[in-house]
C-alpha cells in the first residue's frame, strides 16, 4: 500500500509537499471553543492551499493534511480518552451544496476526513450531515450576523444516520473556519440528533 501511495505521488504530485506545508504559518487559535485549525489562511501560502483543495482533487495532499490534523489533535484526544471520550469518534466531513459538488465533482472535506478516521481510530461517515438548502458563499458576506443568518437551518443529520451519532463523540472536518457560523450550524444539527461531544478541525483559519 505504501508503494502504491509513493507511485501515485510521483505520477500525480500534490501542489504542496509535506515539506511545503511546514513552511505555512500556524493558524491563530479560533475563538470558538472546540475548534482546531492548522494554517493561517491570511498568509499567501495558506490562501493558495485552500484554493487548491477546493479546485483540485488533491488526494495525496489531503492525506498529508489529515496526518497533520491527527498530530494537532493528539494531545486533546489523549486527554479526553482518559475520561472515555473520543475513543472511537465519528468523523463527519462538512457537506457541500449540491451546486458546489456538481461543479467540482468532489468534496475536499471527504478526502481529508476518510484519512483522519483511519489515523484516530474513528468511523468515517460521509453523507451523515446533509445540506437542506442552498446558501450564499460565506466569503462574499462581510457581516458576522449575516453569515450566521445565511447558514441558519441549512443542515441536518440524515434520518437514516441519526443512530450513528446518538450518544457518540464527533469530529467535524472542514477546509476553512472564519466566523465559525458554518461549523456552529453543523454542531447544532448534530446536537439535535443526540451527539455527545463535538469538536471540529480545519485546514485554515
Residues 115-138: pLDDT tens digits? 999 999 999 999 999 999 888 777
For position 153, what pLDDT does the model report? 87
pTM attached to this predicted model: 0.90
pLDDT of residue 2 exceeding 60, the answer is no
pLDDT of residue 10 exceeding 70, the answer is no
Q: Shortest CA distance to 181 belongs to which of 32, 28, 27, 26?
A: 32
Residues 55-105: pLDDT tens digits? 888 899 999 999 999 999 999 999 999 999 999 999 999 998 778 777 788
* Second-level CATH architecture of 14-204: 3-Layer(aba) Sandwich (3.40)
For residue 87, how many other CB atoms are within 10 A of its CB? 14
Domain ranges of the chain: 14-204
For residue 56, how many other CB atoms are within 10 A of its CB? 15
Own/partner long-range contacts of 5-14 (Cβ < 8 Å, ≥24 apart): 5/60, 5/63, 8/59, 8/60, 9/60, 12/59, 12/60, 13/60, 14/58, 14/60, 14/61, 14/64
Q: Shortest CA distance to 38 belongs to which of 61, 15, 7, 11?
A: 61
Amino acid at each position: 500500500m505504501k508503494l502504491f501511495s509513493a507511485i501515485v505521488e510521483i505520477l500525480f504530485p500534490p501542489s504542496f509537499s509535506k515539506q511545503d506545508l511546514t513552511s505555512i504559518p500556524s493558524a491563530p487559535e479560533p475563538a470558538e471553543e472546540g475548534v482546531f485549525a492548522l494554517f493561517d489562511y491570511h498568509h499567501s501560502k495558506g490562501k493558495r492551499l485552500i484554493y487548491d483543495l477546493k479546485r483540485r482533487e488533491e488526494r495525496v495532499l489531503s492525506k498529508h493534511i489529515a496526518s497533520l490534523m491527527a498530530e494537532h489533535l493528539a494531545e486533546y484526544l489523549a486527554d479526553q480518552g482518559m475520561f472515555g471520550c473520543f475513543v472511537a469518534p465519528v468523523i463527519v466531513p462538512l457537506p457541500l451544496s449540491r451546486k458546489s459538488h456538481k461543479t467540482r465533482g468532489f468534496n475536499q472535506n471527504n478526502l481529508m476526513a476518510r484519512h483522519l478516521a483511519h489515523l484516530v481510530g474513528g468511523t468515517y461517515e460521509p453523507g451523515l450531515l446533509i445540506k437542506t438548502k442552498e446558501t450564499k458563499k460565506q466569503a462574499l458576506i462581510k457581516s458576522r450576523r449575516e453569515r450566521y443568518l445565511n447558514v441558519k437551518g441549512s443542515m441536518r443529520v440524515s434520518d437514516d444516520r441519526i443512530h450513528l451519532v446518538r450518544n457518540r463523540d464527533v469530529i467535524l472536518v472542514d477546509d476553512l473556519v472564519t466566523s465559525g457560523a458554518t461549523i456552529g450550524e453543523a454542531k447544532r444539527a448534530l446536537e439535535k440528533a443526540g451527539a455527545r461531544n463535538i469538536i471540529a478541525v480545519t485546514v485554515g483559519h
